[in-house]
Structure 1
Amino acid sequence: MNAIRLTQYGTGGGCSCKIPPGELEDLVAGLTPPPSATAGRILLGIDQGDDAAVLQMEGEGRAIVATTDFFTPVVDDPYDFGRIAATNALSDVYAVGGEPVIALNLLGWPRGVLPLELAREVLRGGSAMAQVAGCHLAGGHSIDDPHPKYGLAVTGLADPGRLLRVDAGEPGLPLTLTKPLGLGVLNTRHKATGEVFPEAVATMTTLNRDASRLALATGIRCATDVTGFGLLGHLYKLARASGVTAVVHSAAVPYLDGAREAIRDGYVSGGSRRNLDWVSPHGDFGDLPEDELLLLADAQTSGGLLVAGEIPGFPVIGELVPRGEHLLIVK
């Protein structure tokens, strides 16, 4: 079983297998239902592309956070795949300022192709991260699927008056990034060569819990996480929703070791190129080389938080300014 490479059994891998952002927005446009007599009030939903749905129940001092996330293998090790997928799903709750309380497994497995013992390792990895997060993991759903897939459906709680949202950015706020970039190109290299990048695995299995709590403690109200649409894609959505322009200082952006070498050697996913194509009409990128822009648009899996505000201990990579001709400026 050690010779089985999970990344060879699925198209794409990790958050790079998402439907491209432009296509996804067209797909969900107009699907928000009108207000109804349904209990509670939606505080965050799909209008601005927030990371999770948040529902406030009448008479309740806390809001319910609901999200789900799953994808095909991003690494070959099944236990690490489970940990990464679970961490990524839990991140959607932290990205809106919530705390996860209970999760359900989502598993697709080619049972006639890959041993069920590997699926058990995937589930064990997910369970390990739920335990780290202090989140119950109880059951879930599985299907016989041609391609292995794993993730979680997560329910959490949040203070409705202290949410992190993509439409709350204001001119003058600095931009903070809580994890280095480069996960996409390193995962693409891993899929192509089998080379393992322990720093990338450690980054993808680090919860965004502490960063989220620090952001709330410092009064920050605007944030998102950086996943399949890359830094530029998620920042574009934040700037558009907040009615501001985002400025990125490329020299200040941190990268994982080996990321620049991977891009130099051509390990770029199709998702990263689509991300750059999507934001380019809305950006002023000066004379930055394409490799630099592809790194900024690199499709991340279980990336960090992008915060409109300053969090001690994390790098400031830019700022929000009054809205101008372009929504994104990269210097």
Structure 2
Amino acid sequence: MTHPAPSTPPSGNKPAEPRLTSLSHGGGCGCKIAPGVLSSILKGTSAMPIPKELLVGIETADDAAVYQLNDEQALIATTDFFMPIVDNPFDFGRIAATNAISDVYAMGGTPIMALALVGMPIAVLSVETIGQILEGGASVCRAAGIPIAGGHTIDSVEPIYGLVALGLVHPSRVKKNASARLGDKLVLGKPIGVGILSAALKKNNLDAAGYAQMMAVTTQLNTPGPLLAALPGVHAMTDVTGFALAGHALEMARGAGLTATLDWRRVPLLPGARDLALAGNITGASGRNWAAYGAEVALPADFAAVDQALLSDPQTSGGLLVSCAPEAVDAVLAVFRDLGFGDACEVGEITAATAGAKLVLR
């Protein structure tokens, strides 16, 4: 199997550049610090006074900070950046920008501008390649209708690209990841399996069709966010990224003091993801995720190891996970489908808290 070529061809006598993914120890949201390690780090930070205008901070590991400006507007602020998940520089930029802007949509907001965060090994990558990465990000910002209004650059050992994304939302429409209610249904906007496909790409095991699938899902802006936030039955939202479907469903359950129950048979998978996982194309981040939160997950006795790997598979620019009243499911699905998210489907529900697991698979 083959993967699409990276790259910028060498000019003159300049040596060929290395594959972008060969320069990173982990790609995309798989670069995230493992949940358990991150929790330990944050426990050591000093508590700061929280102003009443700060509607969302670090309390529940939500997707972005939200600060109320006035009765009609709240500012959403977030940042996301990572090392290459693909070798094509333009595509890397597109994925990273889409992923960063997603956090604004996940809070129910509309993006207004971005700042670029750029760290590049200047002695290794050409100016042309770095320019393609930035242009890929800029193309996504244009699609989202926002400018890149500035940023910061450094010379770094590994290529790093991402955005600070800012957005606006009405204070009454902020959708936290911690406000799910008992009896809510869970709707997932995109299929999972991005980490599996990216692992296959790095091993030269992903064909052109698989790469196209991966690009389609990772560069699709989560534009349903503001429309979903306006629906009266939508109570909570988050986007599924580096901590995988399991990790982000757990955050939702913990924040609400309830349990998330997933019907695994209904969870949409990227075509070929399960077969690639069976063939050994699994990221190291998947195992780190499971080590951090597996004790909080109750699996059926016959749950296959490959399905566990998919459940903890880190997603880059993944879909929105929506917790809504049962009577709002049809409206939620209609919003998704009207905006081109044909794989969106109901995948579970919010159930009563239990003494043990916070996430139950059935």
C-alpha change, 1:67 and 1:121, in structure 2 (3 Å) is: same
1:179-258, aligned counterparts within 5 Å? 179-193=190-204, 195=206, 196=208, 197-210=211-224, 212-219=225-232, 220-258=234-272
305-314 or 126-135: bigger deviation = 305-314
TM-superposed deviation, 1:114: 1.0
Q: Which letter maps to 1:50?
A: D
CA distance in 1, matches of 2:127, 2:275: 36
- Gap regions ≥5 residues in structure 2: 1-7, 10-15, 338-343
Selected match of 2:83 from 57, 68, 72? 72
CA distance in 2, matches of 1:285, 1:14: 27
1:318-329, aligned counterparts within 5 Å? 318-325=348-355, 326-329=357-360
CA distance in 1, matches of 2:49, 2:23: 43
The match for 2:4 is: none
* Cα RMSD (Å): 1.5
| 1:16 aligns to 2:27 (yes or no) | no
CA distance in 1, matches of 2:289, 2:348: 20
Deviations 1:115-172 (A, max 9, x none): 1110000000000000111111122111001110100011111111111111101111
The match for 1:167 is: 178
C-alpha change, 1:48 and 1:30, in structure 2 (3 Å) is: farther
Q: Which letter maps to 1:128?
A: S
Aligned identity (percent) is 41
TM-superposed deviation, 1:194: 6.4
The match for 1:138 is: 149
Q: Which letter maps to 1:306?
A: L
TM-superposed deviation, 1:213: 2.7
- Give secondary structure in 1 for the equivalent of 2:108: coil
Q: Which letter maps to 2:117?
A: L
CA distance in 1, matches of 2:291, 2:76: 32
Deviations 1:215-250 (A, max 9, x none): 223221201110000000111111001111111101
Q: Which letter maps to 2:201?
A: H
Deviations 1:22-47 (A, max 9, x none): 111121126464336x7x61100111
CA distance in 1, matches of 2:48, 2:87: 44
CA distance in 1, matches of 2:46, 2:142: 34
The match for 1:315 is: 345
- Give secondary structure in 2 for the equivalent of 1:222: strand
CA distance in 2, matches of 1:243, 1:327: 9
Q: Which letter maps to 1:35?
A: P
Selected match of 2:298 from 281, 284, 287? 284
Selected match of 1:295 from 307, 310, 314? 310
The match for 2:280 is: 266
Q: Is the 8 A contact 1:245 1:323 kept in 2?
A: yes
Selected match of 1:304 from 300, 315, 319? 319
C-alpha change, 1:34 and 1:111, in structure 2 (3 Å) is: closer
Selected match of 2:56 from 44, 55, 58? 44
- Give secondary structure in 2 for the equivalent of 1:101: strand
The match for 1:5 is: 19
The match for 2:136 is: 125
Q: Is the 8 A contact 1:226 1:303 kept in 2?
A: yes
CA distance in 2, matches of 1:203, 1:178: 10
- Give secondary structure in 1 for the equivalent of 2:171: coil
The match for 1:112 is: 123
CA distance in 1, matches of 2:139, 2:47: 37
TM-score normalised according to structure 2 size: 0.87
Q: Which letter maps to 1:84?
A: I
| 1:27 aligns to 2:2 (yes or no) | no
214-223 or 120-129: bigger deviation = 214-223
232-241 or 215-224: bigger deviation = 215-224
Q: Is the 8 A contact 2:71 2:171 kept in 1?
A: no
- Gap regions ≥5 residues in structure 1: none
CA distance in 2, matches of 1:35, 1:292: 43
- Structure 1: 4+ residue segments shifted above 2 A: 1-4, 29-36
Q: Is the 8 A contact 2:93 2:161 kept in 1?
A: yes
